Amino acid sequence: MTAKYRVAIAGCGGMANEWISYALKRPEVEIVALVDIKLESAQAMAGKYGLSTPAFTEIRQAIIETGANLVFDVTVPSSHYSIASTSLELECDVFSEKPLAETMEECNEIVALSERTGRTHAVMQNRRYDPRIRSLRGLVDAGTVGRTGYIGASFFLAPHFGGFREVMSSPLLLDMAIHTFDQARFISGADPVTVYCQEFNPPGSWYEGQAAAICIFEMSDGSVFCYQGSWCAEGAPTSWEASWRIQGEKGVILWDGVGMPYAEVIAGGDQSGKFIRDYEQVEAQAVSMDETFHHGCLEEMFLSLSEQRPAETDCRDNRYSMAMVFGALESAKTGRKLEIAEVMNHSAKHMQLG
C-alpha cells in the first residue's frame, strides 16, 4: 500500500536527524528519497536508520524518480529557494528549516509560487512549540494584564562558536534573532509595522561583525516590541529562549525562559490614593503537548495538511518574521526607521541574509 506522504529529505546533515526521527513515528509517512550534495552523506543517513531508501544529489531527480509528494528541506539557507521552487513546481508540499529564504525577494517568490501551485510551504519555528511559551500566550489571551503596551526581550549570551559565525557581518541578527522575533509575534498575536535598529560590536567581542543589537518594532496592535541582545555578553547569561517582559494596562507577565511564566497584576480592593499599588501574582496554566519543539512544529505541519488549512508557520505568515530580520538589518545599515511594508515589498537583492 502506497503511503499517504512520500517524503524526500533534502539535506542529510546533523539537523536531519530531528526530522527523520519524527517522520519514522508516523505510519502514513514513507521516506522515499534522501538527498545531499555529498552522496555519501545521504547513504550514511540511510544506513544509520536502516533505510533501503535511494540516495540522490539533486532534488528534481529524486522527486521524479520516487514520486515524492512532500519535501523536507533541511539544507543550508542558501539552498532554500532552489529546493522550494523546484519542489513546489513538481507539485510537492514543502516543510522547511528556517529561514524561509536568504532574500526578501526570494521569500515573496516562494509565497507566490505556493499560492500559484496550491501547495503548502511551511517553515520550522520550533520555539513556538515550547509548552512554556504556550502558557505565556495563554496569560495574554486571557486578558490577565489587559491590553499589551510593551513587549521586551533580552538575549545576552557569550557562546564561543568558532567558525563561520565569528566572521559574519551580523551574527546575532542573521543567525539567531529570527527565533526571538517570531516568538514576539506569537506572544502578541500582532505583526510588525515599523522597525529601528542599531547594531554594534561591544568591547571584548571576539566576533568580526556586529555581535549586539537593539531593535524597536511598532506592532499592529499598537504595542512596542523592544529587542536587546548580544552574543558576546560574558556573565549572568539569559536563557536561549530570552528573558521576557510583557507590560499591560493591569500588570505584567514575566518569563525568564527557564521556569514557568507568571503575571503580577493590580490586587483587588480599594487602592485609591496609593502611590504604588499592591499587586498579586497569577500563575500560568501548564500546557500539555504530545510533541514539543521540532517535533511539535512538524506535528502541526502534518495536521495542517490533513485539515487542508495553512500551517501556523505557513510561508505567508513566516514572511512577517523574516521581514523583521531584513528590516532590522536595513535599518542598521541606513540609520533610518523603516516601514515593514516597505521592507516586504522590497525586491532589491541587497536586502538579504549575508
* Extents of the domains making up the chain: 5-126+293-313, 128-290+323-334
**pLDDT over threshold 90, residue 109:** yes
Reduced DSSP (H G I as helix, E B as strand, rest coil) percent helix, strand, coil of the chain, to 5 = 35, 25, 40
Q: Which residue type is seen at 73?
A: D
What is the fold, at CATH topology level, of the domain defined by 128-290+323-334?
Dihydrodipicolinate Reductase; domain 2 (3.30.360)
**pLDDT over threshold 60, residue 354:** no
Tell me the per-residue pLDDT of 225-254, one tens digit each, with 9 for 90 and over.
Answer: 999 999 999 999 999 999 999 999 999 999
**pLDDT over threshold 60, residue 163:** yes
Peptide bond into 237 cis (omega under 30): no
CB-based contacts of 280, cutoff 8 Å, min separation 6 = 264, 265, 266, 267, 268
Q: Give the Å distances, CA to CA, from 270 to 161, 229, 273, 281.
A: 54, 40, 9, 17
**pLDDT over threshold 70, residue 143:** yes
Tell me the per-residue pLDDT of 296-332, one tens digit each, with 9 for 90 and over.
Answer: 999 999 999 999 999 999 999 999 999 999 999 999 9
CA torsion sign, 66 to 19 to 80 to 194? positive
Nearest residue to 148 via CA among 227, 245, 215: 245
The pLDDT score that the predictor gives to residue 352 is 56
Is there a common fold for 5-126+293-313 and 128-290+323-334? Answer: no
* Prediction pTM value: 0.95
Domain 5-126+293-313: which CATH number of 3.40.50.720, 3.40.50.11540, 3.40.190.10, 3.40.1350.10: 3.40.50.720
